[in-house]
């Protein structure tokens, strides 16, 4: 797991007592476990995000997201990496919970820890005329981010030259 350094949502920015309880408990969990997230007030909800990145290549690989409002929590990976859409509960990997603010903050913290602990590897191809990298979740094989020096994915480069653990 790699710590992510980002500002936290200021407790004074919370609009309701429930939001403040949720954020306060999440702050405590983050301090206890040594991770940091960004907080956002978006329309009717508080959104907390954690960027999981490859520190060597400076590439954001995943944006983990917890949306909280009115004793409702939705957890998932932000597909846009920019908070441009709402999490969709019909999509795989998006989880919904109901409960009180403290309970839901603890659920969110446990989910963040679980997701940050998932191993990620980088598959690298180095050819004379091009370089290609593909980052993937090692435990599921799901590709996360692609990078190709020619932006041409039509060419099959065969097996990667190396597979490098990024986050273990």
- Domain segments of the chain: what residues? 11-116, 120-167
Please state the pTM of the whole predicted model.
Answer: 0.88
Instruction: Give dist(CA 166, CA 56) in Å, integer.
Output: 9
Calculate the dihedral angle through the C-alpha atoms of 42, 72, 106, 143, rounding to the nearest 10 degrees. Answer: -70
Segment 52-69 mean pLDDT: 94
Q: Higher-confidence residue: 161 or 9?
A: 161
Edge-to-edge strands, sheet with 95-98: 38-42, 45-54, 59-69, 72-77, 95-98
- What are the tokens at 12? 């004074």
- Residue 163 pLDDT > 60: yes
Q: Tell me: the pLDDT tens digits for 126-148?
A: 988 889 999 999 999 999 999 99
Q: Tell me: the pLDDT tens digits for 76-102?
A: 999 888 888 889 999 999 999 999 999
**Percentage of the chain lying above the pLDDT 70 cut:** 92
Q: Residue 2: what pLDDT?
A: 38
Q: Give one word for 99, left, alpha or beta, with left for phi > 0 and alpha for psi -120 to 50.
A: left
């Amino acid at each position: 797991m790699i710590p992510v350094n980002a500002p936290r949502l200021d407790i004074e920015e919370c609009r309701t007592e429930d939001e403040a309880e949720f954020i306060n408990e999440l702050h405590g969990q983050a301090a206890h476990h040594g991770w940091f997230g960004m907080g956002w007030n978006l329309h009717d909800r508080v959104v907390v995000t954690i960027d999981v990145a490859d520190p060597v290549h400076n590439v954001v690989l995943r944006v983990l997201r917890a949306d909280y409002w009115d004793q409702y929590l939705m957890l998932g990976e932000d597909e846009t990496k920019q908070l441009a859409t709402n999490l969709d509960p019909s999509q795989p990997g998006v989880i919904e919970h109901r409960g009180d603010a403290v309970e839901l903050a603890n659920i969110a913290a446990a989910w963040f820890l679980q997701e940050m602990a998932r191993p990620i590897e980088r598959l690298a191809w180095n050819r004379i005329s091009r370089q290609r990298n593909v980052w993937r979740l090692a435990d599921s094989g799901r590709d996360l981010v692609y990078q190709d020096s020619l932006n041409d994915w039509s060419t099959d480069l065969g097996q990667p030259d190396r597979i490098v653990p990024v986050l273990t």
